[in-house]
């Protein structure tokens, strides 16, 4: 799927800025008022997704980066930070592992039946309110 010149600029800018879609849209030449919406649309387009995936794959292959290697690095940081009593760093390492493995997402499962309650509302005219208060 061939990308337009603006879409190519968007992909290049998205990669260069670390994944900020709105900023990438602005860099590619879209207006400030539409940049957010354009970025959202672009990220759903198969051609753009494919281009970004190919780029990520190239970088991973070039630098020999795998999920396993990243987890191992985080594990090393975690263990060293515990030894040095750097608990903030150990927490950051754990969060990195959780993010890589997809365990940083909170999942809420709803169970049971949702029951609806109907409330009948009757409007009272002003003159009826006066009658009640007298």
Q: In the chain, what's the furthest Cα-to-Cα distance?
A: 87
Give just the sign of the alpha carbon dihedral 15, 18, 21, 27: negative
- In contact, 35 and 22? CB cutoff 8 Å: yes
| Residue 39, both tokens | 């970025």
Asked if residue 128 has pLDDT above 80, the reply is no
pTM of structure: 0.51
| Tens digit of each residue's pLDDT (9 = 90 or more) over 25-38 | 999 999 999 999 99
Asked if residue 112 has pLDDT above 90, the reply is no
Predicted confidence at residue 50, as pLDDT, reads 93
The H or E element containing residue 84 is: none
Asked if residue 76 has pLDDT above 70, the reply is yes
The H or E element containing residue 72 is: helix 67-83
Mean pLDDT (whole number) for 72-98: 92
Predicted confidence at residue 23, as pLDDT, reads 94
pLDDT band at 62; cut points 50, 70, 90: confident
d(CA 46, CA 103): 26
Asked if residue 65 has pLDDT above 70, the reply is yes
pLDDT band at 44; cut points 50, 70, 90: very high
d(CA 89, CA 115): 46
Phi-psi group of 20: left, alpha or beta (phi > 0 → left; psi -120 to 50 → alpha; rest → beta): beta
């Amino acid at each position: 799927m061939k990308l337009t010149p603006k879409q190519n600029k968007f992909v290049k800018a998205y990669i260069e800025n670390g994944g900020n879609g709105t900023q990438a849209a602005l860099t590619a030449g879209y207006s400030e008022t539409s940049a957010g919406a354009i970025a959202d649309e672009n990220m759903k387009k198969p051609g753009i997704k494919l281009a970004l995936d190919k780029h990520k794959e190239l970088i991973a292959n070039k630098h020999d980066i795998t999920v396993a290697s990243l987890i191992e690095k985080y594990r090393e940081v975690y263990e060293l930070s515990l030894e040095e009593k750097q608990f903030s760093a150990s927490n950051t390492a754990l969060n990195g592992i959780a993010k890589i493995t997809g365990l940083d997402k909170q999942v809420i499962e709803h169970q049971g039946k949702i029951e609806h309650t109907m409330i009948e509302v009757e409007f009272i005219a002003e003159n009826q309110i006066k009658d009640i208060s007298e």
